[in-house]
Structure formats: C-alpha cells, structure tokens
Amino acid sequence: MERKITIQQGNDDFSLECQADGNPEPRVKWWRKDTNLYWENPLRFHRVHYDIEGTYQCVAINNGFPQSTKDVHIDVIGKPYLDGQGNSAMTIAAAGETVRIDCAVTADPLPSNMEWIWRNKYGMETELDSTTARIVTTRRNQKMTSTLTIPDVVVKDSGDYVCKATNMFGSVMRNIHLDIEESIPNVIVITSIAVGAILVVTVAAVLVIIAKRKGWICTSHLDATKESI
C-alpha cells in the first residue's frame, strides 16, 4: 500500500484492502491511530466525509509471532462542506442588541476567504467586507469560520445574510435570516407618562373634594383665598 491515499469528499463506497501472508494464516484488521476504532478488512466507508481523514494502521496477527503493521494516511479533498445548521438558519434579536452570525465550513483546500452578502427586505443586495462590517475569519487545519458582528442592531438591519465559501472543487452557501424586533416606540412611552400624570391630578382632585366634605379642610379659608384671588 502507498503511504498516502487521496480520495474526494462525497464519493460512495470507498474500500481499502490489506493483504498479508504468513503461516499460520494471519488475521487482518484495521485500526485508526490515536483512537479506539477498529474495522474488519477490507477497510470500507459507504460515504466519504472529511471526518474520516486520518492515519489508519493495518494490523496482521497470527498465533505465536509478533504482529506486523503498516500505516496509510487517508487524505480527503473536495468542495467546502457546511458545518452545523445546513443551508439555512434564522436568528431573532431585539433592537439595540449586538448580533453575531457564524458561518463555518470544512474544506480541502480551504477557501481563500468567506464572502458575505446582505439582502434587505426589498431584495436589494450589498456585498459586505472588512471596510463595511466587522468580519473575523479564522482557519485551523481543514476548518474555516467567519463571524459577522452587527452592533446596536436596528429594524433596518433585518434581512438575509448569505455566506459563501468557494475552492477549486465548488461552492456552498448558507442563508441566515435575521429578524429584528422593534423596541417600544417613544410615542407610547410619552403617552404612558401623560396618562399617568392625568391620573395623578385626577386622584388629587378627588381627595380634595373628599377632604372638604369631611371637614378636613377649612371651607371658609378656601373661600377667602378664592375672593382674594
């Protein structure tokens, strides 16, 4: 076997057979190094994903003799694969909050960058970059994560935020719909304050009338005060 085998992500029914001779005839199995995972021979995957990439060891064993091993590294290449939520997602936030939208992919080779597009409720699209938005992109091994941060969101920031990753094998996109819930309008606050003030004045007037009827307030004094005015 070769020391390294390259296969494409998304392929179906990949298999790798290890052949060993011995007397008595050896039993052959596969082990993924640095794990506790074992497979029978031939090593077979019905669907190739990035998570199968790693170093596998063919182990040949027969009774009474030391085992024989050989390593092979499986390298998975292909177009970007979206991690997590699939092709679409939704985020709800209140006006004034800070919103962070993540878009993560696994790919080999990694894309050179992650594209961001904002589509407002009227369908108009705006391309976002580091000059118009807060975008932080990190890369580690085969993973790439891009985070778009929107501080102090307002209702007009609602819409669809599309991230797109592209390498030599193809592209993937995710649409994240952002819905901003509007805070209580100022007019309602002002109205509430006005209604509260009117209520306080009304209650005070009622208390004065009750006080006059109960004799708690001197009527003649009030009348004299009115005449002087």
SS3 for the chain is CCCEEEEECCCEEEEECCCCCCCCCCEEEEEECCCCCEEECCEEEEECCHHHCEEEEEEEECCCCCCEEEEEEEEEEEEEEECCCCCEEEEEEECCCCEEEEEEEEEECCCCCEEEEEECCCCCEEEECCCCCEEEEEEECCEEEEEEEECCCCHHHCEEEEEEEEECCEEEEEEEEEEEECCCCHHHHHHHHHHHHHHHHHHHHHHHHHHHHHCCCCHHHHHHHHHHC
- Positions of the chain with pLDDT under 70: 85, 183-208, 210-229
92 and 65 both lie in a single domain: no
Q: pTM value?
A: 0.71
137 and 191 both lie in a single domain: no
10 and 48 both lie in a single domain: yes
pLDDT digits (tens, 9 = 90+) for 44-78: 999 999 999 999 999 999 888 889 999 999 999 99
CATH classification of the domain holding 69: 2.60.40.10
49 and 23 both lie in a single domain: yes
pLDDT digits (tens, 9 = 90+) for 120-149: 988 999 999 888 889 999 999 899 999 999
pLDDT at 1: 79
117 and 163 both lie in a single domain: yes
Structural domain ending residue among the three candidates 60, 77, 94 = 77
pLDDT at 217: 61
pLDDT at 64: 82
pLDDT at 225: 47
- Domain count of the chain? 3
